[in-house]
Amino acid sequence: MSATLASTPAADGYRMPGEFEEHQGCWIAWPERSDNWRLGAKPAQEAYAAVAEAINLSEPVTVAVSDGQFEHCRTVLSPSIRVVEISTDDAWIRDMGPSFVVDDSGGRRGVDWHFNAWGGLDGGLYFPWDRDERVARKVLEVEGADRYRAPIVLEGGSIHVDGEGTVMATEECLLNANRNPDLSREQIEQMLFEYLGAEKMIWLGRGVYNDETDGHVDNLACFARPGVVLLTYAEDESDPQHAISRDAEERLQRARDARGRSIEVVRLPSPGPITITAEEASGVDAVAGTLPRRDGDRLAASYANFYLATTRVVFPLLDERCDELAGEILRGCFPEREVIGVPAREILLGGGNIHCITQQVPARRDGV
Ligand code: KQY
């Protein structure tokens, strides 16, 4: 049973922990819509399954799947992965799932944000999205976690926290008129502080070039730990990603976090540029109201879009020329974790990557 609470996490002494803190488990939703995933989503399902298996070696994974795909999904995944029937519109549980918050007495609850498919009728990626909108509530029901219903449109991939009071996000996404046009920057900050148990905002400018989410921060940068941010960085000055990354780095170098620390920036190479091939584009069903996939379109590829499991880092393999370097940098940042690359082009083709398709359930904190 999950009750909906009338208070807020901050008022109740709850905070969203950093992803680098210990997890109890991880959720993934199963892809199947053929107007986003090529060839009836079969290649994407293989990629999702590989991600699920890689994470399951670190922490228990639960996969949410439709009734129609239940049998297939159950058959291809290891028996130790839990498979539950939950209806979705697509498979981005980072964005439609709950953001979990914890207190210091063993409590764990979830924040259920409003979801509008990355922009609603003003640039959103599909219509309708009502099944996605109900996913967070269902996950909280399965987890037996009480729910805060946040009165704001927000996707989990559009924020990162350091667990010590700092939130990082991009202006391109959170201040976009297609999310919360009636809220000012200050009102959005206050809302985040209230629902994430935080007190300091670090604003980056734009997200990764051509990112269809309107620049989610999780594709651009993330906290490796408090005071250290990994940032995708294009060295080629003629690449539009270069100016975006340079601006983000400058903002981070000027920033102080909630504890007054300056931020150390670790650059990750920017893969590509990677574009959709004609064959890949032709495998996606054209449907009115869904973002079309076209031959030659640039994909928003980034190594920052990885999942930080309790004992492993699961990162996307995207470009043979720099996969190894990305892995080495991640190993340097997370020496106590096993760093594993998983082929992720099929996930990228759908518009996101490993971080976007995962949602951690943090471990409960007792007297920490
Ligand atoms: O968080 C994400 N990157 C979600 C992308 C949604 C893409 C839908 N085509």
pLDDT score, position 183: 98
Compute the average pLDDT of residues 90-110: 98
pLDDT over 90 (residue 292): no
- The four Cα atoms 204, 210, 213, 215 give a dihedral, to 10 degrees, of 0
pLDDT tens, residue by residue, 25-47: 999 999 999 999 999 999 999 99
Instruction: Please give the distance of CA 179 from its chain centroid, rounded to a whole number.
Output: 17
Q: In whole angstroms, what is the distance from residue 208 CA to residue 220 CA?
A: 6
Q: Is the pLDDT of residue 135 over 60?
A: yes
pLDDT at 145 over 60: yes
DSSP state of 37: S
3-state class of 298 per DSSP?
strand
Are β-strands 200-204 and 82-85 bridged in parallel, bridged antiparallel, or unpaired? unpaired
Statement: residue 368 has pLDDT above 70: no
**Separation of alpha carbons 204 and 194, rounded Å:** 20
Ligand 1 pocket, 290 CB below 6 A? Answer: no
Q: Which of 116, 28, 48 is nearest to 349 (CA)?
A: 48
Q: Which residues pair with 204 in a beta bridge?
A: 170
DSSP E strand stretches across the chain: 4-5, 23-29, 61-65, 82-85, 99-102, 108-114, 147-153, 160-161, 166-170, 200-204, 221-225, 228-233, 264-269, 307-308, 312-317, 338-343, 359-362
User: Distance (Å, rounded) from C-alpha 171 to C-alpha 197?
Assistant: 20
pLDDT at 366: 84
Active site residue 356: yes
Among 154, 178, 212, which residue has the most ligand 1 atoms within 8 Å of its CB, making it the best to mutate? 212
> At which residue do the structure tokens 């920036």 appear?
265
Cα–Cα distances in Å, from 206 out to 42, 115, 164, 361? 32, 21, 24, 28
Instruction: Tell whether ligand 1 has an atom less than 6 A from the beta carbon of residue 214.
Output: no
Give percent above pLDDT 70 in the chain: 99
Of the candidates 203, 207, 111, 112, the one whose C-alpha atom is nearest the C-alpha of residue 166 is 203
How does pLDDT run across 62-94, given as a tens digit for each residue?
999 999 999 999 999 999 999 999 999 999 999
Report pLDDT for 49.
98
Given a contact cutoff of 8 angstroms between Cβ atoms, the answer to whether 220 and 232 are in contact is yes
Mean pLDDT of 186-202: 98
Answer whether 123's CB lies under 8 Å from 159's CB: no
Quickly tell me which residue has 């667990």 as its tokens. Answer: 163
Give mean pLDDT, residues 109-124.
Answer: 96
Give residue 291's pLDDT.
81
Lowest mean pLDDT among 158-167, 260-269, 279-288: 279-288
Pocket lining: 36 vs ligand 1, CB cutoff 6 Å: yes
Residue 289: its pLDDT value, please? 79
pLDDT at 363 over 60: yes
Q: Looking at the predicted structure, is the pLDDT value of residue 267 above 70?
A: yes
Whether the CB of 213 sits within 6 Å of ligand 1: yes
At residue 59, the 3 state secondary structure works out as coil
Model pLDDT, residue 288: 85
CA 78, 84, 89, 94 torsion-angle sign: negative
For position 290, what pLDDT does the model report? 82
Determine if ligand 1 sits within 6 Å of the CB of residue 37.
Answer: no
* Cα-to-centroid distance, 118 and ligand 1 (Å): 8
Phi first, then psi: what are they for 197, rounded to 5°?
65, 50
Q: Model confidence at 230, in pLDDT bands (50, 70, 90)?
A: very high
The pTM is what? 0.97
Q: Ligand 1 mean position to 186 CA, how many Å? A: 26
Kindly indicate the confidence band of residue 265, based on its pLDDT and cuts at 50, 70 and 90: very high
Residue 360 has a pLDDT of 98
Longest Cα–Cα distance of the chain, Å, equals 56
Q: Chain-wide mean pLDDT for the chain?
A: 97
pLDDT at residue 367 in the model: 59
Interval between CA 365 and ligand 1 midpoint (Å)? 31
Can you tell me whether residue 110 is helix, strand or coil? strand
- Tell me if 271 sits within 8 A of 327, measured CB to CB: no
Is residue 139 within 8 Å of residue 64, measured between CB atoms? yes
Write out pLDDT tens, residues 156-172. Answer: 999 999 999 999 999 99
- How far is 217 from 231, CA to CA, in rounded Å? 10
CB 207 within 8 A of CB 247: no
> Which amino acid appears at position 307 of this protein?
Y
- Which two three-digit tokens encode residue 368? 């920490």
